């Protein structure tokens, strides 16, 4: 008898109203322990394990009912967690008492606590489950644990402040992120020695490896980007801006990377093919840990400030794009093998890749909000809608507050700080604002204006300000960064206590001077060039040397260049 072909199922029961720039339909929120940190899925998909650092417990979630079925007491400070390949053990790093807890997953009890280094946080298992690698934050080391014997067989010195550790799919290397020196070290698991050190960016936290082992994605909390490493050469090939990244998880079908953004209550979705952010997903308060189910159809996200776990069902990533088309959209569901057509309204999308659980397409041109359908040999499934957005247009950028002055213009210090208002059209749903190489923090926004925190940049000069929305990337506006000033000389360098002396001051970066003082007393001044300004020395009550200080858009400088002298009597 001919087998019946199943029609494509697109998780319609879990579909909800999407929030701009929403990419997923939210599912269940599960209460767990206090300050949930790491989350791990058993390889057979039967259980989700959550380490609750604040309550010294591990919650066990049934992914069928999405309820907590057991709560396991642990030693102090459970942080990150891993499950053995045979599903019989869960290993949790217990940062409060320098141990690795071993949980029997049948009885849901801790059967051993193995002493490791001080403040262990990260833990990863080799593919055969025979060894656990534990990152010890305070010891600047990685403990290698024989899981059968329950003993530490080696201690590997690594960089300062190691947090995340992971093992490559072939088991030949472990990678550990050292937060204090901005590096990722590669450990040869045959010799348990460090064989590579790669500088990735400020405060690297966690590392995830693609299923084929060719790339590592590293969250760098200080630099606010994800660094992409080529594991063959151990070099950074690109960086992808995301805000306050923590956990990184790669979908088993190797199409996307999910990044928990702690301070933004979102998860960024990065397309692996383009190494670009496709959009963001709403979560609970303080997302920290992320894990993806084996069929890539659900995310479990720990919300560290809400004491919950969000269960999120991926569908279309993203659900909006520019009217010109060309957006890479990943559609997730079931029974999608052999998709013959994907339609956005009546227009046909170009199919780029296809598996049983996903179809990746390039959106056709269009307008408004249109239905999305997928057709296979088993029938046609409805997917909801895709919204076409017009391209954002920028009109003006104005500084509204600054650490050193310059309000009302489009310039600021290289150290960043203060706020700017960007005006334009079609700005709703902005996902990123770039000031040259740096990512600004979006404070608030409407369709015609965005308020952002001005970021720091590596050096002075003009940079391009651009805004990214689901409709595309805007035109650019110029913003000028200014280095702090210096003062080198004053001529004349002395004058009467009665004031009135005309003093020429030399230095650097003086063109944007906002104020000049002599021993804290404001002085009249005029800027001659970027290296010179002229000031009228104010009266001073007593004779003696004083500091001349200048404040510019770029910062402040002060130097004892002038001396007051008594008038003859």
DSSP string, 385-423: EEEEEPPPEEEEEEEEE-SSS-TTSSEEETT--SEEEEE
Contact 268, 261 (CB under 8 A): yes
d(CA 333, CA 297): 7
The whole-number pLDDT of residue 320 equals 85
Contacting residues for 367 by C-beta, under 8 A, at least 6 apart: 323, 388
Task: Answer yes or no: is pLDDT of 462 > 90.
Answer: yes
Backbone φ and ψ of 189, nearest 5°: -75, -15
Confidence band, pLDDT 50/70/90 cuts, at residue 423: very high
Tokens of 543: 């004779």
The whole-number pLDDT of residue 298 equals 85
- The 3-state DSSP class for residue 481 equals strand
The whole-number pLDDT of residue 16 equals 26
Contacting residues for 542 by C-beta, under 8 A, at least 6 apart: 497, 564
d(CA 557, CA 507): 10
d(CA 223, CA 458): 12
Backbone φ and ψ of 13, nearest 5°: -65, -25
Tokens of 422: 């960007």
Average of pLDDT values for 527-542? 96
Tokens of 360: 């990746």
Look over the chain and give the mean of its residue pLDDT values, rounded to a whole number.
90
Task: Answer yes or no: is pLDDT of 564 > 90.
Answer: yes
The whole-number pLDDT of residue 75 equals 96
Tokens of 384: 């909801």
The strand pairing partners of 522, in sequence order, are 517
Task: Answer yes or no: is pLDDT of 21 > 70.
Answer: no
CA distances from 196 to 167, 233, 235 (A): 14, 9, 10
Tokens of 352: 């780029």
The whole-number pLDDT of residue 148 equals 96
Tokens of 520: 């804290």
pLDDT digits 0-9 by tens, 202-222: 999 999 999 999 999 999 999
Strand order of the β-sheet with 245-250 is 245-250, 256-261, 266-271, 276-282
Tokens of 21: 């720039």
Confidence band, pLDDT 50/70/90 cuts, at residue 27: low
Average of pLDDT values for 391-406? 91
The whole-number pLDDT of residue 9 equals 33
Average of pLDDT values for 378-403? 88
Average of pLDDT values for 445-466? 94
Tokens of 502: 């005309």
The whole-number pLDDT of residue 4 equals 29
Buried-state track 66-100, b at ≥16 Cβ within 10 A, e below 16: bebebebebbebbbbbbbbeebebbbbbbbebbbb
Residue-wise DSSP of 164-231: EEEE-TTSSEEEEEETTTTEEEEEETTTTEEEEEEE--SSEEEEEE-TTSSEEEEEETTTTEEEEEET
Rg (CA), the chain: 29
The whole-number pLDDT of residue 1 equals 28
pTM: 0.71
Task: Answer yes or no: is pLDDT of 20 > 50.
Answer: no
Contacting residues for 197 by C-beta, under 8 A, at least 6 apart: 159, 183, 184, 185, 186
Q: Mean pLDDT lowest for which of 270-279, 302-311, 418-427?
A: 270-279
d(CA 273, CA 267): 18
Name residue, tokens 């390949």. 85
Average of pLDDT values for 309-325? 83
The whole-number pLDDT of residue 277 equals 84
Contact 446, 428 (CB under 8 A): yes
d(CA 51, CA 79): 6
The whole-number pLDDT of residue 569 equals 64
pLDDT digits 0-9 by tens, 110-153: 999 999 999 999 999 999 999 999 999 999 999 999 999 999 99
Pairing of strands 328-332, 316-317: antiparallel
Q: Mean pLDDT lowest for which of 66-80, 292-306, 413-427?
A: 292-306
Name residue, tokens 């909801």. 384
Counts for the chain of helices (H) and strands (E), in that order: 0, 55
The whole-number pLDDT of residue 315 equals 64
Name residue, tokens 């998880």. 249
């Amino acid at each position: 008898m001919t087998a019946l072909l199943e029609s494509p199922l697109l998780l319609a029961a879990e579909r909800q109203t999407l929030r701009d720039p929403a990419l997923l339909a939210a599912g269940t929120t599960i209460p767990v322990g206090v300050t949930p940190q790491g989350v791990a899925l058993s390889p057979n998909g039967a259980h989700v394990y959550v380490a609750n650092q604040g309550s010294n417990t591990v919650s066990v979630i049934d992914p069928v009912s999405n309820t907590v079925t057991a709560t396991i007491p642990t030693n102090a400070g459970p942080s990150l967690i891993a499950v053995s390949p045979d599903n019989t053990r869960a290993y949790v790093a217990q940062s409060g008492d320098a141990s690795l807890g071993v949980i029997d997953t049948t009885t849901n009890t801790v059967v051993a606590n193995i002493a490791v280094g001080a403040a262990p946080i990260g833990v990863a298992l080799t593919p055969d489950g025979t060894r656990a690698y534990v990152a010890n934050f305070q010891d600047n080391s990685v403990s290698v644990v024989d899981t059968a014997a329950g003993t530490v067989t080696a201690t590997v010195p690594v960089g300062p402040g190691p947090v995340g550790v992971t093992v490559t799919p072939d088991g030949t290397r472990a990678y550990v992120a050292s937060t204090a020196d901005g590096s990722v070290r590669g450990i040869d698991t045959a010799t348990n020695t460090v064989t590579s050190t790669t500088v990735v960016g400020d405060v690297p936290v966690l590392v995830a490896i693609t299923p084929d082992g060719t790339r590592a994605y590293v969250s760098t909390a200080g630099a606010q980007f994800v660094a992409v490493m080529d594991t063959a050469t151990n070099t950074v090939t690109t960086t992808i801006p995301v805000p306050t990244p923590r956990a990184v998880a790669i979908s088993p079908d190797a199409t996307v990377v999910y990044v928990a953004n702690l301070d933004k209550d979102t998860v960024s979705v990065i397309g692996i093919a383009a190494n670009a952010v496709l959009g963001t997903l709403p979560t609970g308060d303080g997302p920290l840990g992320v894990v993806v189910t084996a069929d890539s159809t659900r995310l479990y996200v720990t919300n560290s400030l809400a004491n919950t776990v969000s269960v999120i069902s991926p569908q279309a990533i993203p659900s909006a794009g520019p009217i010109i088309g060309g957006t890479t959209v990943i559609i997730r569901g079931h029974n999608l093998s052999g998709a013959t057509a994907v339609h956005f309204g009546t227009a046909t999308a170009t199919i780029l890749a296809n598996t049983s659980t996903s179809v990746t397409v390039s959106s056709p041109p269009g307008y408004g909000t249109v239905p999305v359908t997928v057709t296979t040999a088993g029938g046609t499934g409805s997917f909801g809608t895709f919204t076409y957005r017009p391209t954002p247009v920028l009109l003006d950028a104005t500084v509204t507050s600054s650490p050193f002055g310059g309000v009302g213009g489009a310039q600021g210090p290289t150290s960043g700080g203060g706020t700017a208002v960007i005006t334009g059209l079609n700005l709703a749903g902005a996902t990123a604002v770039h000031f040259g190489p740096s990512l600004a923090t979006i404070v608030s926004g409407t369709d015609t204006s965005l308020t952002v925190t001005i970021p720091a940049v590596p050096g002075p000069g003009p940079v391009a300000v651009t805004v990214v929305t689901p409709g595309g990337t805007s035109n650019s506006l110029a913003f000028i960064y200014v280095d702090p000033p210096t003062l080198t000389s004053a001529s004349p360098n002395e004058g009467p206590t009665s004031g009135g002396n005309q003093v020429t001051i030399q230095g650097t970066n003086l063109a944007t001077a906002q104020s000049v003082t002599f021993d804290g007393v404001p002085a009249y001044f005029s800027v001659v060039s970027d290296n010179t300004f002229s000031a009228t020395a104010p009266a001073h009550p007593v004779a003696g040397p004083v500091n001349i200080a200048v404040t510019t858009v770029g910062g402040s400088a002060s130097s004892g260049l002038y001396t007051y002298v008594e008038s003859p009597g």
